[in-house]
Structure 1
Amino acid sequence: MNCANDSSRERQLSPCTMGDIAELAADSFCDIVREHARNQGEVIAFTYGDEEISFAALDEDANRAAHGLVALGVKPGDRVAFLGKNHPLYFEAFLGAARIGAVMTPVNWRLAAPEVAYILDNCGANVVFVGEGFAAMIEQVRADVPHVTHIIGIDAPEHDGPDYRTWKGSFPATPPAHVVKPEDDALQLYTSGTTGKPKGAVMTHGSILSSRDATACGEEMRKWQEPIPGDVTLLAMPCFHISGTGTGIGTMVAGTNSIVLPEYDPTKALDLIANFNISKIFLVPAAIQILLNHPKVNEVDFSRLKYVTYGASPIPLELMREAMRVMGCGFVQMYGMTETSGTIVALDPEDHVPEGSPKMRSVGKPLAGVEIKIIDEAGNEVPTGTVGEIATRSSKNMRGYWNNPEATKATIDAEGWLRTGDAGYLDEDGYLYIHDRVKDMIISGGENVYPAEVENALYSHPRVADVAVIGVPDPKWGEAVKACVVVKEGEELTEAELIAHARTLIAGYKCPKSVDFIAALPRNPSGKILRRELRAPYWAGKDRAVN
């Protein structure tokens, strides 16, 4: 797709300036999109293949979707779900739902059917938007989610029900009467669970817009955060993660264009970078490595690329050096989580140096309006340089976990401090360093995997007597899932059999990449599995116990 010289692209070169955005009086991103539609309606908001959606069209069609959802009985506070790969119409439907006070819940399309059914049941959505290739999945789980009464296909030819484009066309483009408030729920993203069941992290309109609000109140915005006229962002990370949905919301707020890829594809990404004036892109380290290993990477002109932002896991120095040499742009490491509505700490381009430095081992300094402290098990703040659990407080924090007050209380205290579950320390300059994880979590290729989920699936195999799951270093994915399994006496079990069993119950990326069969699991006197003993041989010689 070579679109760099297409005259239609000229419409992208006049979005609002930073000053214009700061002056927008808005309680939600819905209001900001409406302002962009009034002031720069011809500017392109989303590009998808050969399709372009202007801010004026996005605004009008989101209104149509809003009225359509009301006609289906959706009320303020109701959840609506989306199961599909990235698509600009997801953001349009999201905007429509938000304008009537409903909450978008994108579902990870990589999950197995039982996991999809659980999320749809837990969020209680009556309306599900389904993308191409996932109608069969919805039909597979229908019996488990009888409250799902309406399924609308978004460019899903195999879906024999209503088509989104036709459906919305029968409703008016006038704004709905509902007034959105900053404290209203807007987005519900599911995170893996320490107890084996995922939790729905609820973000409000206020938490989503908190970075803009902090800078509008006079706090300093980093240079790489500033929207620049003509910015074009490549949206390549999945929208069921805050990285994908957050990117789309960010460009809608900035009044700039997102080019949407259904899923990460290094060949398409390189083609778009070369031919479409891409200026910004977010990637996880594994995706950067895949891009750099592509045979055509050295043929691409990266000169228009301003920033690559990356996160979800640490990046090896050698990989960072190669990325800086090949791409020649600014790099920004981001640290955050779903529960903080995305990034709360960042390592600026100025701190990225090819020869390496102590600061490059950090994840940077807190963003405007974000507080960070390091605490011990009792919640007391520890001295500078001391390892403890990272806690954060800001308006970016989620409201809580959906219908789970116990988990919410365990994560956010009465003073608004959120325990991240990561272990780290602050240096004397305020830079944050990740050392380990307090909670049992594995990050593989940017995806969070909780051992409890995997262990529950493996333990259901009739020949498994005991099991523990750990993360071990992996050169491509950062960490890989390994199962340590005790087989029932007198039984036999192979690695292939156990992994195949797991795939019927959980997503493929959660399944073990390897299995160690052992005689017994190490446990303390109270019976708790000593995971650190299982992990220790694999992490020996490493500076930190995360990869």
Structure 2
Amino acid sequence: MVSSIPAAVIAAAARWPDRPAIEEGGAVSSFAALETARLTAARAFIAAGIVKGDRVAIWAPNMAEWIVAAVGLQSAGAVLVPLNTRFKGREAGQILRASRAKLLLTVRGFLGFDYPAMLAGEDLPDLKAMVILKGEAGADRDWPAFLAQGAAVSEQAAADRLATVGPGDPCDMLFTSGTTGLPKGVVSNHGQTVRTIATWSDVVGLTEQDRFLVVNPFFHSFGYKAGWLACLLKGAACLPEAVFDTTRLLDRIETERVSVLPGAPTVYQSILGDGTYATRDLSSLRLAVTGAASVPVDLIRRMFTDLKFDVVLTAYGLTEAPVVTMCETTDDAETIANRCGKPIPGVEVICADAEGREVPRGAEGEVLVRGYNVMAGYFENETATREAIDDAGWLHTGDIGVMDERGYLKITDRKKDMFIVGGFNCYPAEIENIILSRRDIAQAAVIGVPDERMGEVAKAIVVPARGAVLEKDEFLAWCRANMANYKAPRQVEICEALPLTASGKVQKFMLR
């Protein structure tokens, strides 16, 4: 097992020097070329005054420069701080201040955004400089000029710096709001990250023959860790995709012979809802990995039958523990849809009551996790860390789940998403699962809304499949006929699209 993320680049270059590491816009970088780029970037960060433990932020879409910058700054001992590409200046400024980032690597022109301009007026006392990875540099330094300054630092000096970076050192800080709404920096170390993602890669069966289309954003652990890092560890080709667009996704699958396509359920629902997939050559698709509180069984079946995947897996993780449970390649569609798998090797998972005691199998409880996959803690927030990780080392996830007799976990829902109808607990994911069994609905989200008599009732927001026409009265009657009365939505709103995060998850707070 390699000791750090940069060490994984070095190992990949030694094992697969001529295999494609990154393919983007027709350009191909081999693992040997990636190692050369890593070393060049490491020298540049050292020349820029970055010392071990400094935080360096990246605010950019999925692209080759993102990966090179990440492994370069980590080689210099710095801690990667990814910023969400959906952020506005105020949100980005908050993360830059909280992390005390010394450098920001960003872009101009992505989807018409000028990220540096968004930060105008933000108080960023620790930020020393911005580097423009792509787009007009203006008064800032561009990426080639930044790399050029590394000539003042010897390769040996860069190697010596990397030698000080070990498995217990922090590699990244991903911010999460959790239930408080206040962003907390989740600190992960190199050893934790490499071991966790190596395990994920082994379970899914990723190999050096795979061509991995990474549509999940690099600022999210699904695109970064279970994305390009997994490719590094297994020698697969990483194909970054900057923007989720169904037509472009199908084009790339067909022309670039994509074999691996992980994503949120909405990725596959969007492809199936588009309708044109049936005219495409999708024969190269081999492996899909998805996850959510609950995934419709019909979606899993159609991923096998319509999209022709050989292997479909669901998994469960969170920023504080990127991979917790995973299904196995031999599991049936019902298990894949209704369970998120067993604990990964070497990790403990229980469902517990309010006092932290394990509940019997089949009973609901909060999901607790203990093992090498758990974060080091929240950055400079001991109080929040102690609240999340108890004295026995259990991470309290805030997710409600049930462990079955086989040891498979089912996530019922987030604590905060549950609503109560006339005294009965309602979990949106369960209701959404039932709604999505209808072929005329492409996407669905359920929220609780106030009701004078019941306290709260369910409201469904649905997106019709292409060409489908939904009638509200018919839909509500169907719901009453297909689920318990207290679960059945009393209201429905039909819309063209749901508000999604860049990683494809529905933004429930916006719907509320």
**Interval of TM-score (by shorter of Structure 1 and Structure 2):** 0.7 to 0.9
The answer to whether the 8 Å contact 2:45/2:150 transfers is no
- Alpha-carbon deviations, 1:111-165, whole Å to 9, x = none? 2322111111111112100024367332332432232221111112265421113
**Which of residues 323, 327, 344 in structure 2 aligns to 1:367?**
344
Identify which of 133, 143, 148 aligns with 1:164.
143
**Structure 2 residue corresponding to 1:176, chosen from 146, 150, 159:** 159
Contact 1:471–1:535 under 8 Å retained in 2: no
Determine the structure 2 residue equivalent to 1:506: none
Asked if 1:137 corresponds to 2:115, the answer is yes
Q: Distance in 1 between matches of 2:202 and 2:39?
A: 34
Contact residue 54 and residue 78 of structure 2 kept, 8 A = yes
Distance 2:286 2:387 in 1: 40
Within the candidate set 370, 392, 399, 1:422 is matched to 399
Task: Report the RMSD for the aligned CA atoms in angstroms.
Answer: 2.9
Partner of 1:493: none
Match of 1:339 in 2: 320
Question: Shift in Å at residue 208 of structure 1?
Answer: 0.8
Is 1:424–1:433's contact at 8 Å kept on the other side of the alignment?
Answer: yes
For residue 97 of structure 1, the aligned residue among 73, 78, 100 is 73
Cα deviation, residue 312, structure 1: 3.6
Q: Residues 222 and 60 of structure 1: is their aligned pair in 2 closer, same or farther, counting only changes over 3 Å?
A: closer
- Correspondence list, 1:1-80, <5 A: 25-80=1-56
Amino acid at match of 1:298: A
Q: Deviations over 1:232-272 (max 9, x none)?
A: 10101111111111111110111221011112222121112
Q: Does 1:201 align with 2:199?
A: no
Instruction: Please name the residue that 1:381 is paired with.
Output: 358
Q: 1:100 to 1:404 in 2, by over 3 A?
A: same
Letter in 1 for 2:114: A
Change (3 A) 1:423 1:239: same
1:20 aligns with none
Q: Deviations over 1:16-52 (max 9, x none)?
A: xxxxxxxxx5211211211222333222111111121
Give a deviation string over 1:318-347, Cα, whole Å, max 9, x none: 22222221112111011111110x222112
Partner of 1:282, secondary structure, is coil
Q: Give 1:504's aligned residue.
A: none
CA-CA distance at 1:380 after TM superposition: 0.9
Aligned 8 A contact 2:134 2:142 in 1: yes
Match of 1:479, as an amino acid? A
Unaligned regions of 5+ residues in structure 1, if any?
1-24, 216-220, 443-469, 485-515, 523-531
Question: Partner residue of 1:235?
Answer: 214
1:78–1:125 Cα contact (<8 Å) kept: yes
Judge conservation of contact 1:334–1:343 (CA < 8 Å) in 2.
yes
- Relative distance call for 1:428 and 1:313 in structure 2 (3 A) is closer
Determine the structure 1 residue equivalent to 2:384: 407
- What does residue range 267-306 of structure 1 map to in structure 2 within 5 Å? 267-306=247-286
Cα distance in 2, alignment partners of residues 408 and 198 from structure 1: 13
In structure 2, the CA distance between the partners of 1:359 and 1:251, relative to structure 1 (3 Å rule), is closer
Query: 1:84 and 1:234 mapped to 2: Cα distance?
Result: 18
> Which structure is higher in RCO with an 8 Å CA cutoff and minimum separation 6?
1
Matches for 1:438-517 after TM superposition, within 5 Å: 438=415, 440-441=416-417, 478-479=444-445
- Structure 1 contact 191–198 (Cα < 8 Å) conserved: yes
Aligned to 1:251: 231
TM superposition shift of 1:390: 0.7
Residue type matched to 1:332 in 2? Answer: L
**CA distance in structure 2 between the aligned counterparts of 1:543 and 1:323, rounded to whole angstroms:** 27
The secondary structure found in structure 2 opposite 1:396 is coil
Separation of aligned partners in 1, 2:73 and 2:137: 24
**Is 2:89 the partner of 1:113?**
yes
Contact 1:133/1:158 (<8 A) preserved: no
Percent identity for Structure 1 against Structure 2: 28
Alpha-carbon distance in structure 2 between the residues aligned to 1:323 and 1:155: 36
The one-letter code sitting in structure 1 at the alignment partner of 2:55 is R
CA contact (8 A) 1:97 1:104 kept: yes
| Structure 2: distance between partners of 1:394 and 1:29 | 20
Q: Distance in 2 between matches of 1:371 and 1:100?
A: 33
Shift of 1:535: 5.3
Counterpart-to-counterpart distance in 2, 1:424 and 1:543: 18
CA–CA distance in structure 2, aligned partners of residues 124 and 80 of structure 1: 9
> Which AA in structure 2 matches 1:151?
M
User: Cα gap change, 1:38/1:359 in structure 2, threshold over 3 Å: closer, same or farther?
Assistant: closer
Structure 2: gaps of 5 or more residues: 419-426, 437-441, 461-482, 490-505
CA 1:350–1:68 in structure 2 vs 1: closer, same or farther (change >3 Å)? same
Q: Secondary structure at the match of 1:351?
A: coil
Q: How does 1:187-198 map to 2 (within 5 A)?
A: 187-198=172-183
Q: Given the two structures, how large is their TM-score scaled by the length of structure 1?
A: 0.74
Using the alignment, how far apart are the partners of 2:444 and 2:189 within structure 1?
A: 32
Structure 1 residues 432 and 273 mapped into 2: Cα distance closer, same or farther (>3 Å)?
same
The 3 A distance-change label for structure 1 pair 409 and 264 is: same
How many Å separate the matches in 2 of 1:212 and 1:111? 27
1:286–1:244 distance in 2 versus 1, CA, 3 Å: same
Does the CA contact (< 8 Å) of 2:282 and 2:308 recur in 1? yes
* C-alpha contact 1:130 1:156 (8 A) present in aligned 2: no
Q: Secondary structure at the match of 2:262?
A: strand
In structure 2, C-alpha distance between the alignment counterparts of 1:42 and 1:169, rounded to whole Å = 25
Q: Structure 1: how far apart are the matches of 2:143 and 2:39?
A: 13
Q: 1:380 to 1:304 in 2, by over 3 A?
A: same
CA distance in 2, matches of 1:71, 1:222: 35
* Shift in CA distance, 429/471, structure 1 to aligned 2, threshold 3 Å: closer
CA contact (8 A) 1:331 1:352 kept: no
Report what 2:408 is aligned to. 431
CA distance in 2, matches of 1:288, 1:238: 16
Distance 1:541 1:257, change over 3 A: farther
Distance in 2 (CA, whole Å) between partners of 1:262 and 1:212 is 22
C-alpha distance after superposition, 1:470-519 (max 9, x if no partner) = 9796665553667x6xxxxxxxxxxxxxxxxxxxxxxxxxxxxxxx7x89
